[in-house]
Amino acid sequence: MEKIIILKYAELSTKKANINFFLKTLKNNIDSSLMWDHTINYDRGRMFIIVSEDNIDKTIDVLSYIFGIHEIVIGFIDEDRDFNTITKNVLDLIKTQEFKTFKVETKRSDKDYPLDSMEVSKTLGGIILKNKECKVDVHNPEITIHIEIRKDAILYYTNGIPGLGGYPVGTLGKGLLMLSGGIDSPVAGYLTIKRGVKLSALYFESPPHTSEEAKNKVIKLARILSKYNPNMTLYVINFTKIQEAILRNIPYEYLITIMRRMMYRIAERIAKSENSKIIVNGESIGQVASQTLTSMSVINNVVDMPVIRPVACFDKLEIIDIAKKIKTFDISTLPYEDCCTVFVPEHPVINPELSKCLEYEKLIPYEELINEAISKKQVIKIKEEEKQFEDIL
Ligand code: ATP
Ligand code: MG
């Protein structure tokens, strides 16, 4: 008898024509995350991973951070195909499991096996009932014992642990996340990675108005995201000159609107330079003056690529809930100033006018300043955070 890890696919199982691309990417993502010997086989229904017994727990931990997996199950393969041995092993397997209702589901692809599917399910079910206090429930059982009788072996398994769901990272192309030290943008990043988008991140700093600690906080957040999105690049843009030029020349109530238009311009240029197709940020409708619909539309006006706002329709408590689950909350709430918060006017405009923005922007040589900031960008390769393998979303 040999142990085998079985993966059930998440949403990708609904893909038809290009399912192979999704499966291949999932396999590659798993391949590059497992740092020990392993074999991966797959078909359209499931993926099978074989590792040495010692590495099974570690492998399951790694898999619990990989998008595209609906369920992770430990199965057993028995090449002898002897029904009595299998019965004994199944009893062993369920001994430690807590359940009150169960069913046995048998599939038999080897039609020459002496027992047919019904007989296997019935006999095994009867033996389980004698050995454990439980009942059969064929409609809504707490656990299902699967038996698959194949020509080469019998495979059996019960319930597994939930995977993260979503699409394998990279299957939907690339995006650039505007990552601040706040609560919202790491959550926005996580949700986008879950949709199969490989992310890079962009952070605007304003030294000396913002501190090195503020930047370290963003690096820490990027490290958490990189657990799901390996080999993440973080671009850091020094925004000080642009921000000071805005502060000197732009009417106070328009500071944030113009500042965000500059951020978007830079984000688009960086996104295009690395072939990212979308900009992602943590804006949420109505959260602050720059996130009213008019503000968002006036700010969005400077770019011609899609801006995805995964938390646009979440309220703050819903966002915080996810931030806690992915363990970014405690870092996001460390008290360091961000460049958006350093110069916030008391009464920012709620309904900015595009024509005014265009007028005001003539007062600063922003093209020049943007070029300079981009040419001096810092590129940080994020080292993956040690995985903590706790309960995650
Ligand atoms: P909070 O959780 O406190 O709202 P926030 O990061 O969401 O923090 P906002 O002022 O709401 O702050 O900014 C909206 C979005 O703009 C952020 O979610 C982020 O995507 C982007 N952003 C803001 N400041 C920066 C920055 N310094 N660098 C990169 N992106 C930023
Ligand atoms: Mg916010």
Distance 264 CA to ligand 1 centre (A): 12
pLDDT of amino acid 385: 59
| Same domain flag for 160 and 39 | yes
CATH code of the domain containing 138 = 3.30.2130.30
pLDDT of amino acid 393: 40
**CA-to-CA separations, 124 to 84, 108, 168, 355, in angstroms, rounded:** 10, 15, 37, 76
| Same domain flag for 134 and 257 | no
Q: Which of 132, 165, 198 is the last residue of a domain?
A: 165
Q: What would the pLDDT profile of 241-297 be if each residue is shown by its tens digit?
A: 999 999 999 999 999 999 999 999 999 999 999 999 999 999 999 888 788 999 999
Q: Could you list the residue range(s) of the whole structural domain that residue 344 is in?
A: 174-392
| Same domain flag for 235 and 273 | yes
Angle formed by the axes of helices 255-273 and 354-361, nearest 10°: 80
- Token pair belonging to 187: 């959550």
pLDDT of amino acid 17: 79
| Same domain flag for 229 and 355 | yes
Residue closest by Cα to atom 14 of ligand 1: 283
Enumerate residues lining ligand 1, CB below 6 A: 178-180, 182-185, 202-204, 281-283, 287-288, 338-340
* pTM strictly above 0.95: no
Q: How many folded domains does the chain comprise?
A: 2
Q: What would the pLDDT profile of 171-186 be if each residue is shown by its tens digit?
A: 999 999 999 999 999 9
| Same domain flag for 198 and 159 | no
CA-nearest of 253, 206, 264 to 360 is 253
Instruction: Name the region of 275 (left: φ>0; alpha: ψ -120 to 50; beta: rest).
Output: left
| Same domain flag for 81 and 187 | no
| Same domain flag for 155 and 180 | no
| Same domain flag for 151 and 228 | no
Ligand 1 atom closest to residue 183's alpha carbon, by position in its atom list: 2
| Same domain flag for 365 and 314 | yes
| Same domain flag for 289 and 366 | yes
| Same domain flag for 154 and 271 | no
Query: Residues of the chain whose pLDDT is less than 70?
Result: 13-14, 338-343, 384-393
| Same domain flag for 152 and 191 | no
CATH code of the domain containing 242 = 3.40.50.620
